[in-house]
């Protein structure tokens, strides 16, 4: 399967972060699946506007395209600062708090969902 995409310029529809996930500000998130790898993993773009939210992560590797953020982890893993070019691996079940300082856009790869 062959595909290409403009990850930096892709239009994303955002939804506000609501409920207990929203910690501070008025963040919103948007995403779009771009395609899949030869092994079936999903490749997509995710974006979050400034604010703070909590999340429970899936297995994922991502590269930051634009923006700045700090991700804090429950447990012993130290917080990380994200900027363009950051490459990060998240593990399923990690509890995180994302504080976005400048709208953050990343390209992610995550295992395909069964079904």
Residue 74 included in any domain: yes
d(CA 70, CA 104): 10
- Say yes or no to pLDDT of 38 above 80: no
Residue 114, number of CB atoms within 10 A of its CB: 4
pLDDT, one tens digit per residue, over 89-112 is: 999 999 999 999 999 999 999 987
d(CA 104, CA 66): 6
Q: What is the CATH number of the domain that holds 50?
A: 2.60.120.10
Residue 5 included in any domain: no
**Residue 95: per-residue pLDDT:** 96
pLDDT, one tens digit per residue, over 74-83 is: 988 999 999 9
- Pairwise pLDDT comparison (4 vs 93), residue with the higher score: 93
pTM of the predicted structure, to 2 decimals: 0.91
The total domain count for the chain is: 1
């Amino acid at each position: 399967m062959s595909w290409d995409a403009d990850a930096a310029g892709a239009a994303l529809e955002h939804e506000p972060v609501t409920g207990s996930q929203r910690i501070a500000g008025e963040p919103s998130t948007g995403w779009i699946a771009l395609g899949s790898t030869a092994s079936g993993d999903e490749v997509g773009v995710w974006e979050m506007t400034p604010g703070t939210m909590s999340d429970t992560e899936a297995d994922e590797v991502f590269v930051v395209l634009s923006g700045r953020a700090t991700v804090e982890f429950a447990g012993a893993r130290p917080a990380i600062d994200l900027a363009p070019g950051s490459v990060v691996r998240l593990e399923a079940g990690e509890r995180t708090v994302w504080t976005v300082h400048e709208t953050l856009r990343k390209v992610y790869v995550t295992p395909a969902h069964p079904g």
